[in-house]
Amino acid sequence: MSQFEFKILSSHDHELISLITNWYHEEWKIPLDKSFAKIKSLLSDETQLQVVMTIDSVPIATGGIYHHVGLLDHQPKFKIHKHWLGLVYTIPEMRRNGYGALLCEQLEFLAKQRRFSELYLFSDTAVDLYARLDWEKVEMVPLGSRLVTVMKKIMNE
């Protein structure tokens, strides 16, 4: 039986931070230095976090809770919301096995522990997944050439 674990990154996790920045670059073309700077900056902030999911100690997925996501640069009206679940990534060979959902549930659990009242996210590729996880659709908005769905989830105790 495989053993899966969740790890909240710390500033000492240099190899994992490098791995995540490479994943984000490969998947979404986010510049390595931009991802690295974002992850490093949130590691000293209790209200933001980056989590890595491992199976048998091998990293397979990551995601986080952030104050700033790319959508806010294009849709400033959403800046009133402080906690954004985002950059949820699973390595291609492990997709469609439920790991993304498990990771999101862990991030939600951590948000509740930190007493965040609500989380927001935006997606154009995983809206059905988030709907299954009881996220509520707020609005569809343009983001560059894409139309994304902004969603929210109230963090009940």
Instruction: With a cut of 70, say whether residue 157 has pLDDT above it.
Output: no
Instruction: Give mean pLDDT, residues 58-83.
Output: 95
**Percent of the chain clearing pLDDT 70 (strictly above):** 99
Q: Which of 30, 51, 31 is nearest to 42 (CA)?
A: 51
Instruction: Look at residue 54 and tell me whether its pLDDT is greater than 80.
Output: yes
Residue 2 pLDDT class (50, 70, 90 cuts): confident
Domain 4-154 has CATH 3.40.640.10: no
- Close Cβ partners of 50 (under 8 Å, ≥ 6 residues apart): 8, 9, 20, 39, 42, 43, 62, 63, 64
- Please report the pLDDT score of residue 156 as a whole number: 73
Residue 44 is predicted with a pLDDT of 85
pLDDT digits (tens, 9 = 90+) for 91-144: 999 999 999 999 999 999 999 999 999 999 999 989 999 999 999 999 999 998
Whether 51 shows a pLDDT value over 80: the answer reads yes
Whole-number pLDDT of residue 108? 96
Mean pLDDT of 74-84: 95
Every domain of the chain and the residues it spans: 4-154
Structure-token match 């469609």, residue found: 96
Tell me how far apart the alpha carbons of residues 22 and 109 are, in angstroms, rounded to a whole number.
Answer: 26
Mean local confidence (pLDDT), 3-13: 93
Structure tokens given for 37? 């700077």
